[in-house]
Chains A and B, each alone.
Chain A
Amino acid sequence: MKSAVPLSLSFCPARLDAIQSASGLILALFMWLHMLFVSSILLGKEAFWTVARFFEGYFILGRPFPLLVSLIVAAILALVVLHAVLALRKFPADWHQYRTFWRHAHRFPHSDTRLWLLQVITGFALFFLAPAHLYQMMAHPEMIGPYASADRVWSGHFWPLYLLLLVAVELHGGIGLYRLALKWGWFMGKDPARSRQRMKRGKWILTGLFIGVGLLALGAYIWIGIQHADRVGERYTPEWAKTETADETPLQPGPLLGSDARFAALADPGHPSSIQPAAEARP
């Protein structure tokens, strides 16, 4: 090994390490919450509609502001970029390092070493998968709702992206949280070895649970999307809210139409509003 000691004292490595861990922790916990919110579709269209409107401030401000969603997504995107930049420090830097680690993981039968390889592979995949989803959400925050999301998933052909994203993000986040606990010595108790085994088991259970729930939710969106394929652009609004708000996207330019009215417009090709809703829902 090299025996040189850095002459100048830099406190950056400590801060970078702490920021990488903090950003990873926030993102992983956000992902779990996000999965729960998205999976509210399993409880019914109205449940998901309520969650979507909640984040638009509908129940606090009296009307939905999709810009709030854009701001949240922008913050998450910034955190993803920050975390990715810091995590790159740990990636193998060249072909020699890749080959060395790959061989090491292959010949060394050690689950945590192989887990790290999985974390690197899923992290690399997330460089491409996460921004695609986040940009879509940031640019079109109003396109979140039982029908709008289902149309995007099925008619917009987003389901392959979400399928890969679901698996990659749950594996990456689960392994990341487990590794964070080991890294900082959290929840070690009196018997660290036993705690570690428990945490690893818990990690796999939670990862399996979230992937399972995620697959069910994705299946639900696909199912709704298929059923709704001939009415792309129609928005869902619960019966009780129809008198309060026009539809999922009341901030659309032009006169607000209730969902029934919009549906009528879609069904009538001669209606002057029949083209616009279908076009705005197309990703």
Chain B
Amino acid sequence: MSRALTFHIFRHTPGNPDSVPHLQDYSLEEAPGMTLFIALNRIREEQDPSLAFDFVCRAGVCGSCAMVINGLPGLACRTLTASLPPEITLLPLPVFELIGDLSVNTGKWMRAMSERLETWVHLQGEPDLDAVEAPMDPDLADEIYELDRCIECGCCIAACGTAQMREDFVGAVGLNKIARFRLDPRDRRTEPDYYRVIGDDAGVFGCMSLLGCHDVCPKGLSLQTQIAYLRRAMVRQGLTGPTRCL
């Protein structure tokens, strides 16, 4: 027998001066295999076409549909309503700029983080496009690929106590990217270069190891291990650097 679901959904459009933040209730009959993504589409199609939320891939790959589901950040397309109680509260991800209702601008935040940390491969020189690509050890390629599975959905940032308090904190998504480029033999950057971008309280030393990021990551990335590894590496770098601090 299908359940009657009640959704309490955050509604607010910052661009509209008449808009007041509030929770709006919607009722829906649960269907077999229903995800939150399906439920939200049905609400929008059948009850309220003004409801704003993001989605692209519907398969947990793009990270667009991240939202706070009964307090926990997660992907709407990967969350079965059957795994939730009949009362479901949906909020937009905190920290990120609100576009409207459940839609937030993660791209703006991610871009700023990416520019700050320079999250791209810094090549030794101009690449020779005609040359055969240098081989990479398959195990190392797997390790890099594992870290590259991050979809920048923003769940780790929404779950991070430090990111909530400090707007300059790069979060697990940023630290994971640095961990990924440190592994890449094509990147010419050395430890002092990485220390320069994450060796402060806005970087790895700002992490308080609450591990909300690790616990909510929809891709199951080993953020706990990566952050601890980076911290040890950056402390080693810090302890061997010049003694002058200030």
Interface residues, chain A, with chain B CB atoms under 8 Å away:
1-6, 9-18, 89-90, 92-93, 97, 100-101, 104-105, 107-110, 112-113, 115-116, 179, 182-185, 188, 192-193, 196
Judge whether A110 and B210 touch: CB under 8 Å. Answer: yes
Within 8 A of A (CB), among B186-229: 192, 195-197, 199-202, 205, 207-212, 215, 222, 224-225, 228-229
Contacts of A185 in B (CB 8 A): 224-225, 228-229, 231-232
Asked if B169 is at the interface (CB within 8 A of a chain A CB), the reply is: yes
What are 21 residue pairs bridging A and B, where the CB atoms are less than 8 Å apart in the complex?
A3-B113, A3-B115, A6-B196, A6-B200, A9-B241, A10-B199, A12-B238, A12-B245, A14-B195, A14-B238, A17-B231, A93-B165, A104-B161, A104-B164, A110-B212, A113-B159, A116-B161, A183-B231, A184-B228, A184-B232, A192-B225
> Of all chain B residues, which has the CB nearest A179?
B209
Q: Which residues of B contact A (CB under 8 A)?
A: 68, 71-72, 94, 109, 112-113, 115-116, 159, 161, 164-170, 192, 195-197, 199-202, 205, 207-212, 215, 222, 224-225, 228-229, 231-232, 234-235, 237-239, 241-242, 245-246
B238 touches A13 (CB 8 A): yes
Asked whether A1 and B112 contact (CB < 8 A) given A113-B161, A183-B231, the answer is yes
Give the residue of A3, A105, A116, A182 whose beta carbon is less than 8 angstroms from that of B116: A3
- The smallest beta-carbon distance between B94 and chain A, in angstroms, is 7
Q: In whole angstroms, what is the CA distance A204 to B215 when docked?
A: 20
Instruction: Report A-chain residues with C-beta under 8 Å of the C-beta of B199.
Output: 9-11, 13-14
- A3 and B164: CB pair below 8 A? no
Q: How far is the CA of A18 from the CA of B228 in the complex (A)?
A: 13
Contact: A108 with B212, CB < 8 Å?
Answer: yes
Contact A18 B113 (CB under 8 A): no
Nearest 5 CB-CB pairings of A with B: A14-B238, A185-B228, A12-B245, A11-B241, A11-B238
Candidate in B192, B224, B225, B242 with the most chain A CB atoms within 10 angstroms: B224
- B215 closest partner in A (C-beta): A110
A107: which B residues are within 8 A, CB to CB? 68, 71
Closest residue of chain A to B95 (Cβ to Cβ) is A1
| Residues of chain B with a CB closer than 8 A to A112's CB | 209-212, 215
Q: Are B161 and A105 touching (Cβ within 8 A)?
A: yes
Taken together as a complex, chains A and B put the C-alpha atoms of A193 and B158 apart, in Å, by 21
Given contacts A101-B164, A192-B222, contact A18 B208 (CB under 8 A): no
Q: Which residues of A contact B215 (CB under 8 A)?
A: 110, 112
Complex CA–CA separation, A103 to B98 (angstroms): 18
A105 to B164, CA, bound (A): 10
Q: Which of A4, A16, A108 contacts B72 (CB 8 A)?
A: A108
Give the distance in Å from the alpha carbon of A17 to the alpha carbon of B109 in the complex: 26
Using Cβ atoms and an 8 Å threshold, which residues of chain B touch A93? 165
**Complex Cα gap A171–B63 (Å):** 38
Cβ–Cβ < 8 Å partners of B164 in chain A: 100-101, 104
User: Could you tell me if B242 and A11 are in contact, using CB atoms closer than 8 angstroms?
Assistant: yes
**8 Å CB contact of B228 from A105, A115, A183:** A183
Chain B CB within 10 Å, residue with most, of A18, A97, A108, A185: A108
* Chain A positions within 8 Å of B170 at CB level: 1
Chain A: minimal CB distance from B208 (Å): 6
- B224's partner among A3, A18, A104, A196 (CB-CB below 8 A) is A196
The residue that B71 contacts in the complex, of A16, A90, A108, A196, with Cβ under 8 A, is: A108
Q: Please determine whether A14 and B235 come into contact, CB atoms closer than 8 angstroms.
A: yes
- Complex contacts, B112 vs chain A, CB 8 Å: 1-3
Closest-CB distance, A93 to chain B (whole angstroms): 8
Question: Which A residues touch B207, using CB under 8 A?
Answer: 183
Whether B245 and A10, one on each chain, are in contact in the complex, defined by CB atoms closer than 8 angstroms, is yes
B residues in contact with A183, CB < 8 Å: 207, 209, 228, 231
Question: Is the Cβ of B205 less than 8 Å from the Cβ of A14?
Answer: yes
Contact of A4 among B68, B116, B228 (CB under 8 A): B116
Min C-beta distance of B184 to chain A, whole Å: 20
Q: How far is the CB of A156 from the nearest CB of chain B, in Å?
A: 38
The smallest beta-carbon distance between B244 and chain A, in angstroms, is 8
Q: How far is the CA of A227 from the CA of B238 in the complex (A)?
A: 57
Contacts of B68 in A (CB 8 A): 107
The answer to whether B239 and A18 touch across the interface, beta carbons within 8 angstroms, is: yes
Measured in the bound complex, the distance between the Cα atoms of B242 and A97 in whole Å is: 33
Return chain A residues, CB-CB under 8 Å to B167.
1-2
